[in-house]
Amino acid sequence: MNFYKSAALALDHLEKNQGSVKGSLAAAGVKATPGEAKRILALVIETLKYKSTLQQLLTTVPLSSLERLTFPRKVPRHAPSSSSLLLVLTHDLLYSPRGVEASDKWPPKQALTRHQARLKAELVRLQLKAGVSRKEDLAKSSTEVSARYVRWNPNVALHRSGDWSIEALFTHLKMKGFERVEEAVYPVPKGKYFMDPHLPDCLLVFPPSTNWWVGDKWYEAGAVILQDKASCFPAKVLMEGWTQDEGECIDATAAPGNKTSYISALMSSQSRLLAFERSAPRFATLEKMLAKGQCRNVIPRRADFTDSDPHDPEFAKITRILLDPSCSGSGIVNRLDYLLEDEVDEPDAQSSRLEKLASFQLQMILHAFRFPSARRVVYSTCSIHAEEDERVVLAAISSGIAKERGWRLADRSEVLPSWERRGRPEEMGDDEQMAESVIRCLPREDKTNGFFVACFVRNEGETNGLQRGLKKKAGKSQKGAIKENQAEHQGENGNKRKRDEVDTEASKVPGQKAKTAKTAKAVTGVKAVEAPEAVADDEDIAMIDGGNDIDARTKTSAQLERARRKKAAQKERKRLKGGEA
């Protein structure tokens, strides 16, 4: 009984279009052992496959009305909805060889059994109407997946005994019956594979139905990692031109660890790579992934990247930062998520959600810009919405801190130049060159998940100037340095988040226009997804409004407090003068 209720709770959660199918159990608060969770998830997936058919049946045979006492419209808090419970029960009644696995005395099973004959008769009618001979042919199927991608992980070859080289992998696959072909062809023929033309040193492309890695020693050892092609792009772009003596890197939102492990591999498992993750469950997943992948240069940290102090000496050598923040996930359409593609948010709800996400995404970019030694910042999303992609990038590059510190978009030659699909000029002020600097991936056309990648860079001389300034400050007396740090980075309200450009930039824009109410809400007046405390704590957020190049500023709380006191003092002086008169 709890089995069906847990599956129904997961369906309720997915009905709101939050997260992925695989993450629905944890997101819905379902507590189960690994074995139970696997069984519940299987039922959720199978129910989603037949959801359209089951809903038609339950419309024709309205059990919610016929058995309203058992399946009431209103249910207690934390209980699954009757509609979702009916879906999972009806699925097992009609599609499971074992039927509904519950006591015959359980009221929901009794209610369903009373209408079993009619439900089966209506199912046959649906088969005839659809022109299919089997009831299984009424399942929803994905037409998106044309390939499966497997990334070879060289870290295992570096640190584990035995031969884990790419050549050894080729030999292993040949023994399993796979033939390597030289030319890329989609869909990939059965029993064949090829090296991806954009990532030919590590990414193998297989037929969509392939699962040779299940229980295979290469997968169990972490020598191969299942990772979508587009998901590999951010790390590849980040590490372009990397040399071991350059410095250190940060992955700002690291879990589950696929991108982190790829960065580590591109660093040859040398130099420090700090991996931030604020969520406790996701951090545990990250640690397991890093251990399995032999990512020995990675230092995982359970913390919020936006809470870090860019001027902390610990980050003095950070030259490259990867940002892959929370996003709508609108580009994830393959594998299990195609089951949710008909679950669309209402326009107003989606717009509001995108505004909140864009606010947080921009917050992260601007925070990364503050690291004194940073030379390269890569921003990516698995979204196809311009609100999270080109518009966020345009706002970031138009911000005061970007102009102050020399940040610009990298040229196309530095951002996977062989990838043909680039950004949308109409979303970047009709600037063709700027649009050419970013990458877009579309699911159907590009054989990947939907994805977006942008790379911000600045010259080494500009970072050296900031480093010299920091060294000069460090040479002052401790008392003087503390005073200067307080004056430069801390508002009068006691907020300890560093604020290093606001007053300077604000003085440069005396005639600045006020933000529209919509933009103020979109950028600074809403709580950000995943990190709600971050938005209100940043003053250097540019306008995101259809790609317009508007550099908008917000005042610090300290400035607002000074203005309030000044206004109050003026009123008091006027009152006293009026009394004297």
Between CA 352 and CA 363, with CA 358 as vertex, the angle to 5 degrees is 135
Give the span between the Cα atoms of 317 and 374, in whole angstroms.
8
Three-class secondary structure of residue 493 per DSSP: coil
Nearest to 545 by CA among 313, 306, 362, 312: 362
Largest CA distance in the chain: 102
For 240, residues 6+ apart whose C-beta sits below 8 A from its C-beta are 376, 414, 415, 455
Residue 442 · residue 459 · CB < 8 Å: no
Residue 131 gets which letter from DSSP? T
Which residue is catalytic, options 232, 327, 382, 455?
A: 382
Give the span between the Cα atoms of 496 and 489, in whole angstroms.
8
Nearest to 207 by CA among 189, 231, 227: 189
Report which residue type is found at 137.
D
Report which residue type is found at 431.
D
Scored b (16 or more CB within 10 A) or e, 555-572 reads ebbbbeeeeeeeeeeeee
Residue 451 gets which letter from DSSP? E
Give the span between the Cα atoms of 458 and 456, in whole angstroms.
7
Three-class secondary structure of residue 409 per DSSP: strand
Residue 81 gets which letter from DSSP? P
For 128, residues 6+ apart whose C-beta sits below 8 A from its C-beta are none
Residue 527 gets which letter from DSSP? P
Scored b (16 or more CB within 10 A) or e, 278-288 reads beeebbeebbe
CA 27 to chain centre: 15
Give the span between the Cα atoms of 468 and 474, in whole angstroms.
10
- Residue 382 is among the residues annotated as catalytic for this protein: yes
Nearest to 58 by CA among 111, 104, 7, 110: 111
Residue 240 · residue 218 · CB < 8 Å: no
Catalytic residues: 382
